[in-house]
Amino acid sequence: MYTFSSKLKTLSYILMALGILGIGYGFYSAPKDIQEVEKLLAAESHGEHGGSKHEASASATHHGDAAIHTELAVDDKVEASHAEAPVGVDAADSIKEVQVLPLSDLTKGREKAHVMTAEEEHTEHLTHVLHQLQNKPWSAFYVACIFFMLISLGVLAFYAIQQVAQAGWSPVLFRVMQGITAYLPVGSVIFFLFLLLSGLHINHLFIWMDPEVVATDKLIANKAGYLNFPFWIVRAAIFLVGWNLYRYYSRKNCLAQDDANDNLFYKKNFKLSALFLVFFIVTESIMSWDWIMSIDPHWFSTLFGWYVLSSFLVSAVTTIALVTLYLKSKGALEHVNTSHIHDLAKFMFGFSVFWTYLWFCQYMLIWYANIPEEVTYYVTRIDVYNLPFFGAVVMNFVFPLLILINTDFKRISWVLVMAGVVILVGHYLDFFIMIMPGTVGDRWFIGISEIASILFFLGLFIFVVFTAMTKVPLLPKRNPFIEESKHFHY
């Protein structure tokens, strides 16, 4: 039996406490009304420009911050240039602005721009920035929340695959995987509560939930048959309950198999896992539309589900590898040798490349065809999120490719820990880039809110996972493949 070391437990408490403080600070420091935003923008404008003509009027403040003026739809380009001409914006500026299109305010802008005076437009802009800034702590929480929940879901899927594939190497790691999936119920509850809060309009991450937006936006209104709150939340409930049921029964059967005289529970688990994988691939796809793609309800991509899957699957395998290395270093996994680690590292490498493949397929197809309705997604990301967008490719592809291609390196703990940390941070960034542009647009920053949310969920994850590890022996007894797994060498 593994005992949760008191140091690690203390660390998890500290992480959670720091996280809660930081999350609270994030909500506390978000602006409450447009007056605060105005001051904020004025301060930024002075800092960046300082030109006297920009300070002449309130409107000047507004257009002086050209890079963040983002609410103009393509249709409104002409009107916009006219409206702003008196305060001295040249056409080139407007065009630049037009390229940055967070969808959340497109609709409102489009509705009113035709009759908008400079003053009204300024207020409009302030409201827009206010919404972005108010979304920021919520988005930071949401990204970390979904990231850690999907990691444990990915471990569950990987575990089910190992069961169904009758893998001979991995049974010694089954209890580690089950331990990591212990986070799933906890993560699901928090995540579901968050979705409920979104539905109650406590936050505004999903703009299609806003009846005003739906009323004025035909594109979203046409999707209302799918994107409506009751259907959406019921889907979420079914997915989360389904995954958790599999986790519960699979673990129960695995433990029952320890004390059984035959392989009945093993066979049950085999069938259950096969069913789960079918359920999983369908629900995973829909989940990615519901929880991530619907943040940008004007945009769609057909391979998005697989893309999300590849991202959290590689994070999941990396997490298994890191937890295994930790437990091994504490002497808790007697039968795990470097060959098991080597296999995990191969999966990390392979799934990293798989992620890159899907990332590039999605990017290149949209870039190549350059259809305006699809390409805005990447225009925002490249213009406003340049470093994290391409940084994620370096961290998730180039780095693991060069490190994990070497067979000898795949057996060295510190190399793997280093690669694993980079992969996990890279995939956090990946989720960050999927969600943030639609909610906070150019107001993104990896600051206190974001880091605190990560720390909170990391602490919770460590606490739940390692507590679960102490509950049962870390070696399954009567798994039909356990002997082979103990003597696995590659």
Judged by CB under 8 A, the residue of 29, 166, 407, 470 near another protein is 407
228 contacts another protein (rule: CB under 8 A):
no
Q: Work out whether the CA dihedral 446, 448, 453, 459 comes out positive or negative.
A: positive
For the bound state, the minimum distance from the C-beta of residue 357 to another protein, rounded and expressed in Å, comes to: 10
Point out which span in 6-14, 64-72, 263-271, 356-364 binds another protein (CB under 8 A).
356-364
The neighbour count for residue 484, using CB atoms within 10 Å, is: 15
95 contacts another protein (rule: CB under 8 A):
no
Judged by CB under 8 A, the residue of 91, 238, 364, 421 near another protein is 364
Residue closest to 296 by CA, chosen among 434, 427, 151 = 434
The DSSP letter of residue 394 is I
Point out which span in 1-9, 148-156, 338-346, 359-367 binds another protein (CB under 8 A).
359-367
Q: Work out whether the CA dihedral 289, 293, 299, 300 comes out positive or negative.
A: negative
Give the whole-angstrom CA distance, residue 137 versus residue 103: 19
Total chain residues near another protein (CB under 8 A): 8
Question: Which pair of tokens denotes residue 118?
Answer: 């400079």
CA distances from 221 to 116, 200, 211 (A): 24, 19, 9
Q: Left (φ > 0), alpha (ψ -120 to 50) or beta: where does 73 sit?
A: beta
- Residue number with CB closer to another protein (92 or 215): 92
401 contacts another protein (rule: CB under 8 A):
no
- Residue number with CB closer to another protein (368 or 414): 368
For the bound state, the minimum distance from the C-beta of residue 303 to another protein, rounded and expressed in Å, comes to: 16
363 contacts another protein (rule: CB under 8 A):
yes
- Start-to-end CA span in the chain (Å): 27
- Residue number with CB closer to another protein (245 or 405): 405
Phi, psi of 244 (to 5 degrees): -70, -35
Give the whole-angstrom CA distance, residue 272 versus residue 249: 8
405 contacts another protein (rule: CB under 8 A):
yes
- Residue number with CB closer to another protein (141 or 363): 363
- Residue number with CB closer to another protein (248 or 490): 490
- Residue number with CB closer to another protein (246 or 377): 377
189 contacts another protein (rule: CB under 8 A):
no
Residue 100 near residue 380 (C-beta atoms within 8 A) = yes
Judged by CB under 8 A, the residue of 47, 368, 372, 414 near another protein is 368
For the bound state, the minimum distance from the C-beta of residue 360 to another protein, rounded and expressed in Å, comes to: 7
Burial string for 328-347 (b: 16+ CB within 10 Å, else e) reads beeebbebbbeebbbbbbeb
CA 186 to chain centre: 17
367 contacts another protein (rule: CB under 8 A):
yes
- Residue number with CB closer to another protein (35 or 407): 407
- Residue number with CB closer to another protein (329 or 370): 370
**Cβ contacts of 200 within 8 Å, gap of 6 or more:** none
Question: Where on the chain is the footprint of another protein (CB under 8 A)?
Answer: 360, 363-364, 367-368, 370, 405, 407
